């Protein structure tokens, strides 16, 4: 039985990944979820699996080196899927320090733990793998409508978030180059789907629209992101963990480029299409809610991923067209408004007021 150490498993992609893996492999795998439960971590996402004998949650900060080493010494970990991170660009602009601690030093602790547990006299035990879940933002930005990010595109991060993820990727690379450490790096585009925290574009717009609040679009809304349905991403990570040769980097993208304003318009139109006629929230939802606000500092213009390598080498392709994925996502939020209400109480309101300068 393979044992997975999933870091950040209570966050958006991590919890989707744990649910995906449990559904796919059932009792034939074991998952240990290590998460500090920051504002972005929510154990409620994992209710479906929390009572399983092959699932274990540990509240641990990956910056706590002793605890990380002791986990590797206590459990025979086969595969590390490393999601744990501070993940929001806007927060990194305001408070970069925690990004360096978690994203860089936390990653080094995991590499150190895995290396010492997996090392043999002539290399590493068989069947071990460390997957660093990274981002297309390490490539910087595409300045116009042409071209794509390839795995060979030079690293050129711009935000403190992407700089910290690049630093972590380089540490992973250094372990591969120095020790032939069994790692892969995946770099995906913007994910969307159930359980995403409403600081990110799509859930923020859904939540605001349902509450009749303004929809804050940065700049002129013309920046482009390449959207990937989270389940497709989870599948890619599993495929890379299983089949990626040591040291390979894989871009994971949905071929789903959209301007931000198109996304916001689609959210409004889909909500109006999906909400029943008698739902009182319909009255306040309209395109008039769109409000253009001050642009993000250093706002990367366009991200677009070429996922050719993962397709040709490992046979992965995105399966969820955006028109379907956005409906699935909105349907999930409509069915889980109590989830949204619980996480937008308290600290979120302070964040929102400060970020969007609302009274």
Chain contacts with ligand NAD (rule: CB under 6 A): 7-8, 10-14, 35-38, 40-41, 61-63, 83-87, 102, 106, 133, 135, 165, 188, 190-191, 197
Check: CB of residue 304 under 8 Å from CB of residue 225: no
Catalytic residue among 4, 20, 139, 161: 161
Based on CB atoms, which residue is closest to ligand TYD, 182 or 203? 203
Which burial class, exposed, middle or buried, applies to 143 when counting CB atoms under 10 A from its CB (0-12, 13-18, 19+)? Answer: exposed
* Residue 226 known to be catalytic: no
* Residue 150 known to be catalytic: no
Of 46, 217, 236, 340, the one binding ligand TYD by CB under 6 A: 217
Residue 200 near ligand TYD by CB under 6 A: yes
Cα(233)–Cα(310) distance, rounded to whole angstroms?
A: 12
Q: Binding string to ligand TYD for residues 282 to 311, with x set by CB under 6 A, is what? A: --------------x---------------
* Residue 335 known to be catalytic: no
Cα(169)–Cα(305) distance, rounded to whole angstroms?
A: 17
Cα(140)–Cα(142) distance, rounded to whole angstroms?
A: 7
Q: Do the bridges between strand 119-120 and strand 123-124 make them parallel or antiparallel, or are there none, so unpaired?
A: antiparallel
Which region, judged by CB under 6 A, interacts with ligand TYD, from 26-34, 74-82, 213-221, 267-275?
213-221
Neighbouring-strand partners of residue 227: 190
Closest contact distance (angstroms) between CB of 267 and ligand TYD is: 12
Which residue, chain included where needed, has tokens 């860089």? 104
# of chain residues touching ligand TYD (CB under 6 A): 12
Based on CB atoms, which residue is closest to ligand TYD, 200 or 233? 200
Residue 30 near ligand TYD by CB under 6 A: no
How far does the chain reach from its first CA to its final CA, in angstroms? 53
């Amino acid at each position: 039985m393979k044992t997975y150490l999933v870091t950040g498993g209570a966050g958006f992609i991590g919890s989707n990944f744990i649910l995906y893996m449990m559904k796919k492999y059932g009792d034939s795998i074991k998952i240990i979820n290590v998460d500090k439960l920051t504002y972005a971590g929510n154990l409620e996402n994992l209710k479906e699996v929390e009572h399983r004998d092959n699932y274990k949650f540990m509240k641990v900060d990956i910056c706590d080196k002793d605890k990380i080493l002791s986990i590797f010494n206590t459990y025979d970990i086969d595969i590390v899927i490393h999601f744990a991170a501070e993940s929001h660009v806007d927060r990194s602009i305001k408070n970069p320090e925690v990004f360096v601690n978690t994203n860089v030093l936390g990653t080094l602790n995991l590499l150190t733990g895995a290396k010492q547990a997996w090392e043999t006299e002539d290399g590493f035990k068989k069947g071990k793998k460390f997957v660093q879940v990274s981002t297309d933002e390490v490539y910087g930005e595409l300045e116009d409508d042409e071209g794509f990010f390839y795995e060979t595109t030079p690293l050129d991060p711009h935000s403190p978030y992407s700089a910290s993820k690049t630093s972590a990727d380089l540490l992973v690379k250094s372990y591969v180059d120095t020790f032939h450490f069994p790692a892969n790096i995946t770099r995906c585009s913007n994910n969307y789907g159930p359980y995403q925290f409403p600081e990110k574009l799509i859930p923020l717009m859904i939540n605001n629209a349902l509450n009749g609040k303004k929809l804050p679009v940065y700049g002129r809304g013309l920046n482009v992101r390449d959207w990937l349905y989270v389940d497709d991403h989870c599948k890619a990570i599993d495929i890379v963990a299983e089949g990626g040769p040591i040291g390979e980097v894989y871009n994971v993208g949905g071929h789903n480029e959209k301007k931000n304003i198109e996304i916001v318009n689609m959210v409004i139109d889909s909500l109006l299409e999906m909400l029943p006629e008698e739902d009182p929230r319909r009255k306040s939802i309209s395109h008039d809610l769109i409000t253009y606000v001050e642009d993000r500092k250093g706002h990367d213009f366009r991200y677009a991923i070429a996922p050719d390598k993962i397709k040709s080498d490992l046979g992965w392709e995105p399966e969820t067209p955006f028109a379907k994925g956005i409906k699935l996502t909105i349907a999930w939020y409509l069915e889980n408004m109590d989830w949204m209400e619980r996480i937008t109480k308290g600290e979120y309101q302070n964040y929102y007021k400060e970020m969007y300068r609302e009274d």
